[in-house]
Amino acid sequence: MMNWNALYDRLKTRVPALELRRDEPMSRHTSFQVGGPVPLLALPKNEDEVGQLLSAAVLEFGVRPFFMGRGTNLLVSDQGADLLVVKASDGLNRLELLEEGERPGHSTILAGSGVSLARLSGFALEHGLAGLEFAQGIPGSVGGGVYMNAGAYGGELGQVVSSVSSVSCPSEEFVREYVNPQFSYRRSQFQEEDDFILRACFSLKPGDPAEIKAKMEDFAARRREKQPLEYPSAGSTFKRPAPVDGQPVYAAALIDGCGLKGLSVGGAQVSEKHAGFIINRGGASCKDIMELMARVRERVFRETGVTLEPEVRCLGGEGEGWNF
């Protein structure tokens, strides 16, 4: 059984400035606003703290941490999880325009894993660089966004990421550099690696700032009009299904077509505004959300033959039985 007190004491000795929280409720760190406690949550402020943290936890104690960004795509068990969670906090916020672009005719922005995608896209706008307009309204971080290849409105981070730097478990000495990493729909090669993403470079083309801003404002207006932004959620709950007979298929349309808007379990509900969102209307538990997801999947499969795959990651007790 893991001695979390011993790990806490070792980390405070080795990395005195590292922010550590004991028995931290994960409801404070997920956009669903649900989730029980974890015995230890670390919020490193810089890359050196990440290396020191992993060295002590992995090499000395044999603990494999769970890495997270801003928790906008995460569902945590009501009982919590017996894990060391390492969160890319705002301290990992390096953001700069590099002097030389990595590709001809492009400019390169370097962003730390804790930088919000909203801040990153705003920075691109300030420098007249196009290609990140779609990311302005995605509530996640660079690290989490790269990990899952976040996207919206036809754009994905994988389209503009040119390189990624990560620190590898179990050795903090091994910083990997990935040039032109591999991405696919809502997937990246980092989902197969046991790494903590430190930073990423984005290769962008110069554009007209007025056109870039107008595009961002258009996307923002669409989000306000169509998405239930007033309620806690994890954005789109299910991934876009594979095409059927060569035609695109959308999870929200399937769910709506099955008459599931407004379906509720406890405090969890299929949004009446956008069927692709499961929302926390107040007091929802992880169990409520997972049961509602299961009901939606079962109904959609029964009526359409399409199996919906969750876009949300699950952590902790209930997730052990998550056979989606």
Active site residues: 186, 236, 311
Q: What are phi and psi of 285, to 5 degrees?
A: -105, 165
Residue that is written with structure tokens 């916020």 in the block = 93
Whether 271 contacts 228, CB under 8 Å: yes
SS3 95: strand
Residue 117's contacts (CB-CB under 8 Å, 6 or more residues apart) are 132, 135, 136, 138, 139, 140, 141, 142, 145, 150
SS3 307: coil
The CA distances from residue 211 to 77, 105, 128, 258, in Å, are: 43, 19, 10, 39
Could you list the beta-strand ranges (E) of 56-194.
66-68, 74-76, 84-87, 95-97, 107-112, 129-130, 151-152, 155-156, 161-168, 175-179, 183-184, 187-188
Question: Which amino acid, 11?
Answer: L
Alpha carbon distance 104, 197 (integer Å): 26
DSSP 37-64: EEEEEEE-SSHHHHHHHHIIIIIIT---
Bond preceding residue 170 cis, omega within 30 of 0: yes
Alpha carbon distance 120, 141 (integer Å): 9
Residue that is written with structure tokens 């059927």 in the block = 244
Alpha carbon distance 28, 36 (integer Å): 9
Alpha carbon distance 293, 311 (integer Å): 11
